[in-house]
């Protein structure tokens, strides 16, 4: 329920911003706005202020601004009607909503970047290289620690993933640490790739727990933890069912969980990064003895934030990166083997709830992403959407001023709206099936 409330709150905020764009430009250009609606009828409540009625409606998935003379020729000679305005004025009013949704992320990204947040620093380690992948052909190896990609310092897996998807089909410069040496490689992430391999063809782990010191005498034992070891995961003897370790407490819990299911300690493996190489250790004796003679520490959290002016200018770069990521993902769908998959309101609400659990800053970033998507979707040339209405204005412009009869345009938009409602229902059914 909380996920739905958070999603509807975010959606309401974005819809109000969108419709406010239409509203303000219409008012500036002298068009009388009859109604400013949040959601679609039937109406729940409303009030009138000035010449405009403000309403809250039952169907929450959208909003609208209803302007005088929007759908008919009866107000053609009324200077305060939408119909009476020239094509460029009508075009400006129609584009204004998507424009606000496109600009809003700049301020949201700025806000997110200026708020201090604590993030775990980690070592990003390559644990597997797929055959014939860009990673293998470039010379990357298991155990390489990824340091820098295209000039960006990598301390989290999410940063690496972002950099990879920004460079699909393009050469990318990587710096990795291998047994104390820095190795430089050129890698070209592939647009199309086999299922489960990713654009580069690597599996990675985030190392966050390090052995600070040891107290045992058998430091040469291969199944003993040594000072400097970075503990990545705990799994079974066949190296399956790996539990990723994020802190010392998770390590103890994971070992106890595996011990409860294992016949002996030989059935347990601990993946560690040692001197630039991956090693699987089998705890000798009890799992408690495995940890009792070592001192562990979790890599420190790093506080990150940006000054306001830096965050503002960087927000344009972030917006550009998001657009590139969307373009690359669309290329994978159209020209690669990626499946076209779309989430409806229920699916997005579920994702929103999961993201909200990561904190307020992450939720702000997610809101910015939704705003960008809302802008793009609204500009699609689909009847009933802003893009569909824009299309009719463009037809008028390119046909020498000949307008499509408003009554016919109204029918087209009505059919488009019915189609959109049907599509939302079908996608929602798909979302429900995924949840079951």
pLDDT in tens, 184-216: 999 999 888 887 788 999 988 888 888 888 876
User: Can you tell me which residue has the tokens 């390090």?
Assistant: 210
CA gap 332, 338 in Å, rounded:
5
Residue 283 to residues 23, 226, 231, 292, Cα–Cα distance (Å): 67, 13, 13, 12
First to last CA, the chain: 16
CA gap 374, 392 in Å, rounded:
21
- Tens of pLDDT, residue by residue, the chain (436 residues): 678 889 889 999 999 999 999 999 999 999 999 999 998 888 999 999 999 999 999 988 788 999 988 876 566 678 888 888 889 999 999 999 999 999 999 999 999 889 887 776 788 999 889 999 999 999 999 999 999 998 888 888 888 888 888 888 889 999 999 988 999 999 999 888 887 788 999 988 888 888 888 876 554 456 778 888 888 888 876 767 778 888 888 888 888 787 777 655 567 888 889 888 888 887 766 666 677 778 888 877 777 778 888 889 889 988 888 888 788 777 776 666 666 667 777 788 888 888 888 788 889 999 999 999 999 999 988 888 899 999 999 988 888 878 887 778 888 888 888 888 888 888 878 777 776 6
Q: What's residue 74's pLDDT?
A: 61
DSSP count for the chain of H helices, then E strands: 11, 16
Please state the φ and ψ torsions of residue 138, each to the nearest 5 degrees: -85, -15
CA max distance for the chain:
96
**Nearest in space to 369 (alpha carbons), one of 328, 323, 419:** 323
| Structural domains of the chain in order of their starting residue, each with its CATH number | 2-115+364-435 (no CATH), 118-205+303-342 (2.30.42.10), 208-302 (2.30.42)
Q: What's residue 73's pLDDT?
A: 56
- 360-378 vs 345-356: helix axis angle to the nearest 10? 150
Q: What's residue 368's pLDDT?
A: 93
User: Residue 117 forms beta bridges with which residues?
Assistant: 304
User: Can you tell me which residue has the tokens 């644990």?
Assistant: 127
Q: What's residue 288's pLDDT?
A: 60
Q: What's residue 265's pLDDT?
A: 57
Please state the φ and ψ torsions of residue 286, each to the nearest 5 degrees: -80, 155
Residue 338 to residues 180, 293, 331, 334, 341, Cα–Cα distance (Å): 38, 49, 9, 8, 9
CB 379 within 8 A of CB 390: yes
CB 207 within 8 A of CB 276: no
Half-sphere exposure of 141 (CA within 13 A, CB side): 10
Q: What's residue 269's pLDDT?
A: 82
Q: What's residue 330's pLDDT?
A: 76
Q: What's residue 245's pLDDT?
A: 82
Q: Hey, is 238 helix, strand or coil?
A: coil
Token output for 425: 């229902």
User: Can you tell me which residue has the tokens 């340091």?
Assistant: 147
Q: What's residue 374's pLDDT?
A: 92
Q: What's residue 403's pLDDT?
A: 80
């Amino acid at each position: 329920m909380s996920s739905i409330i958070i999603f509807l709150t975010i959606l309401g905020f974005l819809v109000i911003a969108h419709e406010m764009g239409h509203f303000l430009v219409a008012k500036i250009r002298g068009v009388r706005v009859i109604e400013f609606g949040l959601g679609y009828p039937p109406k729940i409540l409303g009030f009138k202020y000035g010449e405009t009625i403000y309403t809250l409606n039952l169907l929450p998935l959208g909003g609208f601004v209803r302007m005088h003379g929007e759908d008919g020729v009866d107000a053609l000679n009324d200077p305060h009607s939408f119909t009476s305005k020239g094509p460029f004025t009508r075009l400006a009013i129609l584009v204004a909503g998507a424009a606000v949704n496109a600009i809003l992320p700049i301020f949201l990204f700025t806000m997110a970047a200026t708020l201090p947040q604590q993030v775990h620093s980690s070592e990003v380690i390559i644990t597997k290289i797929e055959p014939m992948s860009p990673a293998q052909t470039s010379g990357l190896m298991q155990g390489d620690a990824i340091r820098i990609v295209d000039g960006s310092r990598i301390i989290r897996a999410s940063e690496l993933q972002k950099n990879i998807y920004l460079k699909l089909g393009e050469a990318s410069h990587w710096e990795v640490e291998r047994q104390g040496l820095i190795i430089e490689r050129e890698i070209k992430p592939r647009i199309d790739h086999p299922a489960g391999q990713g654009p580069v063809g690597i599996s990675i782990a985030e190392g966050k727990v390090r052995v600070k010191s040891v107290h045992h005498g058998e430091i040469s034992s291969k199944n003993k933890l040594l000072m400097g070891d970075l503990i990545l995961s705990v799994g079974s003897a066949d190296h399956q069912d790996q539990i990723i370790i994020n802190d010392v407490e998770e390590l103890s819990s994971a070992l106890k969980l595996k011990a409860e299911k294992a016949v002996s300690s030989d059935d347990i493996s601990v993946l560690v990064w040692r001197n630039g190489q991956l090693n699987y250790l089998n705890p000798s004796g009890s799992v408690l003895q495995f940890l009792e003679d070592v001192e562990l520490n979790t890599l420190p959290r790093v506080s990150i934030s940006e000054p306001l002016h830096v965050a503002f200018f960087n927000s344009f770069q972030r917006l550009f990166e998001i657009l590139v990521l969307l373009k690359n993902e669309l290329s994978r769908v159209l020209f690669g083997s990626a499946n076209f998959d779309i989430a409806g309101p229920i699916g997005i609400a579920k994702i929103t709830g999961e993201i909200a659990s990561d904190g307020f800053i992450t939720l702000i970033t997610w809101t910015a992403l939704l705003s960008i998507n809302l802008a793009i979707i609204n500009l699609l040339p689909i009847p009933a959407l802003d893009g569909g209405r824009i299309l009719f204005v463009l037809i008028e412009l390119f046909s020498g001023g000949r307008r499509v009869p408003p009554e016919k345009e109204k029918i087209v938009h009505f059919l488009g709206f019915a189609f959109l409602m049907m599509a939302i229902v079908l996608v929602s059914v798909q979302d429900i099936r995924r949840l079951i």
